[in-house]
Chains A and B, each alone.
Chain A
Amino acid sequence: MSRSERSSDTDVDDTGGQAVPGDHADDRPATPPPAHTGSMATRRLGVAALVGLTATLLFGLVITGPEETQRDAARLLYIHLPTIAVTYLAFFLTLVGSVIYLRRGSAFWDLVAGASGEIGVLFCGFVLASGALWGKPTWGVYWQWDPRLTSTAVLFVMYIGYLAVRRLELPPDVRSRRAAILGIVSFLNVFIVHYSVQWWRGLHQGQTIGLDTKIEGMMLFTLFLALASFLVLYAWLLIHRFRVAWLAREHDDLGLARALAERRAESGRRVSPRVS
């Protein structure tokens, strides 16, 4: 892990001419990083996400007409489907980060895996919530034991477990390695759970909870708009969350270094010299 990488920071956080609220950076050419996790990249992504999500709200709730059989309940699909996409993307990135971390020991990828995992859990919760709220008007019940919903619920709990392992009180590299193994195996588990539940429910009179809705025209547009917006949102959240994780790590390292320095200073003050 190279400390030299941190010597100058010009590309990432250049705030240019944009007024950034709360930015404490100087205006010298080699601008040191500001006291927050924002940057040019996140400004752009953030604006894009905001615009996209507002548009999604508009189109989803107002402009696009209600779908025929499900009336307005289908509007929830503009939330439900994109959040599913984000969830799987997020957990996939956790998988990738975990694999790379195990092979290269790169702190960057470990933190990416963790940040993405947290966002994945959040959005998985959204999937379950929006799914249940869509289900009630559509099928009459909040919960169905169909493969997708059941495996999503198991997925949710599994990755909460992943987040818990990331917080275990262990030496950082041991903890990261465990989390990485878990991040990889959990993703594989999803398939196992999905297929066994699918098989299980397949035995019962074809309870195909498919999307019987025809999605076309305006609805399709709104759906893509929503999907794009949520993906951009995911990127924005990921960058910020990663930076927070990075800061936390630096903070911990500093704390550790300080503690070690104090201990050495202490032993230096003692009468009998110690061999360190």
Chain B
Amino acid sequence: MLRDTWLMAVKDLRIELGSRVVTAQILPFGLLVLILFGLAISPDLLVTGDARRSVLEEIAPGLFWLAVLLSALMALARAFALEADDGNLDALRMAGIDPAGVFLGKALAVAVQLVAIEAVLGFGAVVVFGVPLSDPLLLAVTLVLATFSITLAGTLYAALASGLRSRDTLVPLLVLPVLAPVLLGATLATRDALFADPAVPGWSWAMLLAVFSLLYLGVGMLAFGPLLEET
């Protein structure tokens, strides 16, 4: 299973290296979203009671994770559009590849892409929104756990949403409601990590993300068996 995981992941990443869709299309999209947030939410709006902080900066954690989520949707949709076009999932199954390996491999490939996206968007967010950093460890842990959560759950639901004709309009509808708790947890944990907000137990929320990841690790591996049976 681990070998299959590696094979799948490497295959997907090689395709990405060749086509560079993430770097050329999805990343710019993510940055654009960040900028659009700035346009939609005026940087001049100040937090009532704290004239030094703009609303934009205050809600930066949420905006960052929204931008990441939206970008992740595209990456996830694409991960399965690749297979759909050539009926590859069928071929994979017949080649005897472990379904759990397919699941993990695809998730891993998306995770790598997502980490790259987060790095760039994170840098962009710091520049555009101007946020401080109080707890780098919590931030790092949050990023890792949130990435796992998004990719593990996202891979499962993106697989469910992928039709024959690589239609990816259903992916957001299936993936986003499921990831609502992840958005919540990641945003709050990041809030605590950046602003050291005393009202927010950042580490507890990070634990929620850990639980979520583990849950979908199990569910995904279980579900991919029946999911890949195409007969």
Contact = CB atoms under 8 A, between A and B. Distances in A.
Q: Do chains A and B stick together as partners?
A: yes
Interface of A: 102, 154-155, 157-158, 160-161, 164-165, 168-171, 173-174, 177-178, 180-182, 185, 188-189, 192-193, 196-197, 199-200, 203
B177 A197 contact: no
Given A158-B178, A161-B173, A193-B180, A178 B208 contact: no
B143 to A, nearest CB: 19
A150 to B, nearest CB: 8
Sort A-B residue pairs by CB-CB distance and give the 10 closest, nearest first: A196-B181, A158-B177, A161-B174, A161-B173, A154-B177, A168-B163, A157-B177, A181-B223, A178-B160, A182-B160
A161 B180 contact: no
Contacts of A174: 229-230
B227 A178 contact: yes
Nearest to B208: A196
Contacts of B161: 161, 165, 168
A51 to B, nearest CB: 38
Contacts of A161: 161, 170, 173-174, 177
B160 A181 contact: yes
What's the dominant secondary structure at chain A's contact region?
helix
B170 A193 contact: no
Interface string B151-182: 00000110011011100001001101110110
A199 B219 CA distance: 23
Contact of B178 (A164, A181, A189, A199): A189
B188 A200 contact: yes
Interface of B: 156-157, 160-161, 163-165, 170, 173-174, 176-178, 180-181, 184-185, 188, 199-201, 208, 212, 215, 219, 223, 226-227, 229-231
Main secondary structure of the interface of B (DSSP, over half): helix
B170 A170 contact: no
Contacts of B223: 181, 185
21 contacts: A154-B180, A155-B177, A158-B177, A161-B161, A165-B160, A168-B170, A169-B163, A170-B164, A177-B227, A177-B229, A178-B160, A180-B226, A181-B160, A181-B223, A182-B157, A185-B219, A185-B223, A189-B178, A192-B215, A193-B181, A200-B184
B137 to A, nearest CB: 22
A161 B179 CA distance: 14
A162 to B, nearest CB: 9
B226 A181 contact: yes
Given A169-B165, A170-B164, A192 B181 contact: yes
A233 B217 CA distance: 39
Contact of A160 (B157, B173, B229): B173
Nearest to A204: B199
A48 B99 CA distance: 49
Contacts of A203: 199-201
Contacts of B156: 185
Contacts of B212: 192
A197 B183 CA distance: 11
Nearest to B163: A168
Contacts of A169: 163-165
Contact of B184 (A102, A157, A168, A197): A197
Nearest to A168: B163
Given A185-B219, A196-B185, A203-B199, A170 B173 contact: no
A164 B170 contact: yes
B154 to A, nearest CB: 13
Contacts of A171: 230
A51 B223 CA distance: 44
